[in-house]
């Protein structure tokens, strides 16, 4: 498989994965709906989105989430800590998804498989977070207004 074929195949597989996993991310958001938008604010979610977009390695995303969980714990906000811990678990599991996808997309011979796996894991985490943010904001439309 040449480089162009690999890129096209990778792009298509990721697009299909993203569409399949949108409902999973929505379920995560719905499962933590009681924390939105007061305990987990939109600003925190946008912050997560920025980190995931700019991360060079998956470990950067993980570090950010662990930091958020630690901050919440120090503040005694155990429900918020639980949210970040759950998210860390959910995103961590995507490494297995990345492994499955890589099996279906044979790497070009010169590619480093460890690096490719981390890059794909980071990309899948980015897509999951994109769905998560969109659904979290969507499901809380007007929630503040209703409270007022």
131 contributes a contact to other proteins by CB under 8 A: yes
Considering only the stretches 69-77, 86-94, 109-117, 125-133, report the one whose residues sit in contact with other proteins under the rule CB under 8 A. 125-133
For residue 75 the two structure tokens come to 């503040």
Considering only the stretches 59-67, 79-87, 105-113, 123-131, report the one whose residues sit in contact with other proteins under the rule CB under 8 A. 123-131
Measured from the Cβ of residue 57, the count of other Cβ atoms closer than 10 Å reads: 13
111 contributes a contact to other proteins by CB under 8 A: no
CA distance 23 to 18: 9
Measured from the Cβ of residue 146, the count of other Cβ atoms closer than 10 Å reads: 8
**Considering beta carbons, is residue 6 or 73 the nearer one to other proteins?**
6
Helices (H), 1-148: 3-31, 42-54, 58-74, 78-104, 113-139, 143-147
100 contributes a contact to other proteins by CB under 8 A: no
- Name residues whose C-beta falls within 8 Å of residue 54's C-beta, 6 or more positions apart in sequence: none
Q: Count residues contacting other proteins (CB under 8 A)?
A: 22
41 contributes a contact to other proteins by CB under 8 A: no
Provide the binding-site residues for other proteins, judged by CB under 8 A: 11-12, 15-16, 18-19, 22, 127, 130-131, 133-142, 144-145
């Amino acid at each position: 498989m040449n480089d162009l074929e690999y890129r096209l195949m990778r792009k298509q597989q990721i697009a299909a994965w993203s569409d399949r996993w949108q409902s999973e991310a929505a379920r995560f958001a719905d499962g933590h709906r009681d924390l939105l938008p007061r305990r987990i604010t939109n600003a925190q979610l946008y912050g997560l989105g920025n980190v995931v977009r700019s991360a060079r390695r998956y470990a950067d995303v993980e570090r950010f989430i662990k930091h958020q969980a630690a901050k919440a714990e120090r503040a005694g906000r155990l429900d918020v800590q639980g949210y970040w811990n759950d998210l860390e678990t959910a995103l961590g599991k995507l490494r297995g998804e990345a492994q499955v996808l890589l099996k279906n997309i044979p790497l070009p011979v010169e590619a480093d498989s460890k690096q490719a796996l981390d890059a794909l894991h980071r990309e899948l985490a980015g897509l999951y977070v994109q769905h998560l943010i969109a659904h979290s904001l969507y499901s809380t439309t007007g929630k503040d207004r209703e409270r007022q």
